Structure 1
Amino acid sequence: MSPLTNAIKSTNVRWHVFFTLFALCTVNYVDRAVLSICMPDIQSDLSLDPAIVGLVLSAFFWGYAAMQIPVGWLLDKFHADKLIICSGILWGIFQIITGAFAASAKMFMALRVMLGISEAPIYPGGTKMQSIWLTSKERGRGSALMDTGAALGNAIGGPIVILFMGWFGGWRGALIGAGIFTLCIVLGGSRFLKGTPDTNPYINETERNYLKNELEKEYHSEAIKEGKVEKVSWTKYLTSRNFWCMIIGFFALDSYWFGLMTWGPNYLAQAQGLDIKAIGGAVLMIFGVGVVVELIGGVVTDKWRASGASLNKVLKTIMCTMAAGMAISMYFLSRADSITSALVWLTLGVSFERWCGMLFFVIPPTISQKNHVGTVAGSMNFAGNMGGVLIPIIIGFIVSMTGSYFVALMMFVGFGVAIIITTLLLDFDNKVGSDIQAQSVAGVTAKQTE
């Protein structure tokens, strides 16, 4: 039984932090979804070719991906909470500017790049927060809360954007409304996202000591400061199989996710004949189910882990199963001959991806040293978002050249297979550099016994 279980009147500030991250990630994906949902109208108004639509949709990821590693480094050096809040304020402002002033493909692309830069800290920042606020047996739920925002943002994004289009006048009003909505959520959440367990004004000593003791066992932070455990160099990651399997696996996962997110509404409109109002309801169903599956997945993962099962067993079993489901769903989606069957396979594909994808955010704090979690998370997110840069363009050209989505969907099957392979090669039970630290601890112990 954990020390926290017996504590009287212990606070739960760490969960307040992650519910705040959940809210921020939700509005983050409402902002990302708004352009995809409005794109049929934007494409019609501005007479954009499908290939140009792909460029516009991918422009966000140019700025977002380019900033992932620099932002990860900043998160390791400075206050993650402050960087996340500043990020939210900036992306709300750029969304408003896009709705008010974008009048051409070039202007759309420039403003989407700026939006991507401003949103860059949110996911590496949330992953960094796991190493500050959550123990290793709580990160399934923490990752689920944070990452569920992506599915919920897409689920409620459709109806919200449709409402904004009606209330504020078309796609421009929807973009402006989404930006204002963002600013309200970010400013409201800023009071809960404060500092670390050592500096947060709302945490009590029971919760503070629990986190300090559990995280010290995992990361040996005090021992490193005192020179008892050797510090691990960043270059160690560049020769680590764990690091590169994480990078490749997340590239495949995000290619799958962003491909569905950016082209999913267009697929439903063009291949299945849904109008824009019906698309909003379809998106709500698809991603709404994903929200439920992901939250259940976080609880199941942590309960299995708490039962004594190793991280290797838990994560490999669940992630490989979900990745197989992702691939199978896309294969059958390519053969869908009705709106109903298409919606079923899209919903299953998104649900499998949500559970699998949520667990990827457990990997950086699991395989990294504490002072490298932000940079490793940024590197992972950089790789994933390179998929976000490339996939909308590739799908756009495939659809433009072939007039169908079949080849693109077969590519999605390949992404699921790639995740299975890289997950099987990962060793979740060992941090990068743990061999060096074990040797240094053994050396200190030997000297003490001489």
Structure 2
Amino acid sequence: MSAIEKAINPITPNSEKKTRTRWMIVAMLFLVTAINYADRATLSIAGSDMSNQLGLDSVMMGYVFSAFAWSYVAGQIPGGWLLDRFGSKKVYFWSIFLWSCFTLLQGTIGIFGSVGTAVIILFGLRFLVGLAEAPSFPANSRIVASWFPGHERGTAAATFNSAQYFATVLFAPIMGYITYKFGWEYVFYFMGTIGIIVAFIWLKTIHNPKEHPRISQAELDYIEAGGALIHMDQTDAKKGVNWSNVKKLLSNRMLLGIYLGQYCITTLTYFFLTWFPVYLVQERGMTILEVGFIASLPAICGFLGGILGGLFSDFLLRKGFSLTVARKTPIVIGMVMSMSLVAANYVEAQWVVIFVMALAFFGKGFGALGWAVVSDTSPKEMSGVSGGLFNTFGNIAGITTPIIIGYIISVTGSFNGALIFVGANALVAIFSYLFLVGEIKRVKLTS
């Protein structure tokens, strides 16, 4: 551009270059999701010491573990509606702030002398944590859909989703050490305080694409041309959110197959979130301090698998493969690898058990592309509700998995049947994506 042209059409530094603000946004989603999952896992880390102190058996612990998921599931559609109605920034702030407060309060249940009273209050607080966290993943999906073009969406969704493994890598050793050194109560105080601080950082960091002070016009044009729904939070929710359209989503074969697949994949998630540390202590004879560090090794593999699964999916898209092939291939490969955890029933050496679990973690991460699929398929008029439905079906597994495994352990006296149960769910997820889902494409609502 000549000097005369620059004088006539001045270009600011902010509009000359294509910024990468969208990756700062997904980094914030990653941080919040890591804290989200660490708060879910507090009970599994503190569970052994807590159950010994309160006198809880495996069935009672199964119900306490499931308390989070009852309200988390119930809150998905209302949470999605709130997101569509009031926008992701405000709703997510209150979500982070409230779940962190309820996490912190769980550290106080030791003051109740009665076991029954303590269990009821613990169940209630876990229930409230689940209710407060309900909008989180639909909000992640909405934000990715509004900030990322289609060919980067798999990587973005896999990045925030892989934070669940990073949460174990970073926080499990810390929480294990806190439990060992100070007592289980301080795990809840520590995580609750961190979450409250991050909630206020969220307010200063997150903006809609058109309102972000650091985005250039070049980046805005780039993401919009690639299919990003940059006007999403300005959408009038009343136009899309009604029960007639909800019924259309629930009668869509592609979405029903995705929902079933997510239920099965989430079964693996909740095994690792709830019973896995207990498995290492009770079945494999490790100490809680050892568990805090050893559990982080498979989680590192899950984190790497999550990132690589998203990169591989977007790589397939760039090479010209269809969206259907690009999303289904990593999911199927990942679930095949996840089934390897059943092999832990037939080995004795601890290092082999950790290797098998690490492979299963890696596969689970590699195949966890459900939220990318939601961003690809949700109708723009009700993306929050669509994500809420997806998460509702998926997190029913958070109710059923801890309870079923608790009963399996109670009846059989070992974790062998539990591992078979989890592996079978990975197999069902494969069949769902191969034979029910069909072509992956965005759902369009018609009046």
| Equivalent residues of 1:332, 1:345 under 8 A apart | yes
Q: Distance in 1 between matches of 2:398 and 2:284?
A: 24
Of 148, 151, 158, which residue of structure 1 is paired with 2:162?
A: 148
Q: In the aligned structure 2, how far is the partner of 1:387 from the partner of 1:39?
A: 20
Q: Which residue of 2 aligns with 1:446?
A: none
Partner of 2:272: 260
Contact between 2:66 and 2:398, CA under 8 Å: does it hold in 1?
Answer: yes
Specify the SS of the correspondent of 1:254: helix
CA offsets 1:75-124 (integer angstroms, 9 cap, x no match):
12221122112111111111111112454111110110011111111111
Q: Which residue of 1 aligns with 2:199?
A: 186
Aligned to 1:319: 331
**Which residue in the other structure is 1:199 paired with?**
211
> Who is 1:99 aligned against?
107
Q: How does 1:236-247 map to 2 (within 5 A)?
A: 236-247=248-259
Name which of 272, 293, 298 aligns with 1:286. 298
Displacement of 1:414 in angstroms is: 1.3
8 Å contact kept, 2:80–2:388: yes
Q: Equivalent residue for 1:276? A: 288
Equivalent residue for 1:25? 33
Q: Secondary structure at the match of 2:17?
A: coil
Q: Name the CA shift for 1:170/1:280 in 2 (closer, same or farther; >3 Å).
A: same
Classify the secondary structure of the residue corresponding to 1:215.
coil
Q: How does 1:37-436 map to 2 (within 5 A)?
A: 37-101=45-109, 103=112, 104-165=118-179, 169-194=182-207, 196-215=208-227, 233-327=245-339, 329-357=340-368, 359-424=369-434, 425-433=436-444
Taking the aligned partners of 2:337 and 2:293, their CA distance within structure 1 comes to 24
Give the equivalent residue in structure 1 for 2:4: none
Kept after mapping to 1: 8 A contact 2:162/2:365: yes
Matched with 1:228 is none
CA contact (8 A) 1:154 1:287 kept: yes
- Kept in 1: contact 2:379–2:386 (CA 8 A): no
Tell me the amino acid that sits aligned with residue 312 of structure 1: T
Asked whether the 8 Å contact 1:87–1:118 carries over to 2, the reply is yes
Q: Cα gap change, 1:62/1:100 in structure 2, threshold over 3 Å: closer, same or farther? A: same
- In structure 1, the residue matched to 2:8 is none
Residues 26 and 160 in structure 2, CA contact (< 8 A), matched pair in contact too: yes
1:16-58 Cα offsets, whole Å, 9 max, x none, are 1110000000111111111101101001100111100111111
SS at match of 1:137: helix
Overall identity of the aligned pairs, in %: 27
CA shift, 1:268, in A, is: 0.6
* Cα distance between partner residues in 1 of 2:21 and 2:357: 36
SS in structure 1 of the partner of residue 211 of structure 2 = coil
Provide, for residues 178-201 of structure 1, a one-character-per-residue CA deviation record: whole Å limited to 9, x for no partner: 11122223322332112x112222
- SS state of the match for residue 212, structure 2? coil
Query: Conserved in 1, the CA contact under 8 Å of 2:209 and 2:230?
Result: no
Give the conservation status (yes or no) of the 8 Å contact 1:398–1:407.
yes
Number of aligned pairs? 418
Q: How many Å apart are 1:166 and its aligned residue?
A: 5.3
Cα distance between partner residues in 1 of 2:385 and 2:269: 22
More off after superposition, 310-319 vs 250-259: 310-319
Determine if contact 1:69/1:382 at 8 Å carries over to the other structure: yes
Letter in 2 for 1:108: L
Query: Structure 1 counterpart of 2:386, which letter?
Result: V
8 Å CA contact retained: 2:327, 2:373: no
2:72–2:133 Cα contact (<8 Å) kept: yes
**8 Å contact kept, 2:298–2:354:** yes
Q: d(CA) in 2 for partners of 1:274 and 1:220?
A: 51
Indicate the RMSD between aligned Cα atoms, in angstroms.
Answer: 2.2
The separation in 2 between residues aligned to 1:316 and 1:92, in whole angstroms, is 35
The CA deviation at 1:59 is 0.6
| 1:415 CA displacement | 0.6
Letter in 2 for 1:110: G
* Deviation larger for 380-389 or 178-187: 178-187
Task: Kindly state the Cα deviation for residue 284 of structure 1 after the two structures are TM-superposed.
Answer: 1.1
The Cα shift of 1:428 comes to 4.1
Check the 8 A contact 1:34/1:157 in 2, yes or no. no
Structure 1 unaligned blocks of 5 or more: 1-6, 226-230, 438-450
Q: Distance in 1 between matches of 2:227 and 2:329?
A: 25
Q: One-letter code of the match for 1:73?
A: W
Amino acid corresponding to residue 123 of structure 1 in structure 2: F
C-alpha distance in 2, partners of 1:67/1:333?
Answer: 36
Give the whole-Å Cα distance in 1 for the aligned partners of 2:289 and 2:342: 27
Amino acid at match of 1:360: G
- Equivalent residue of 1:142, what SS? helix
Distance in 1 separating the partners of 2:80 and 2:439: 21
Q: 3-state DSSP class of the match of 1:361?
A: helix
Partner of 2:24: 16
What is the deviation of 1:336?
2.3
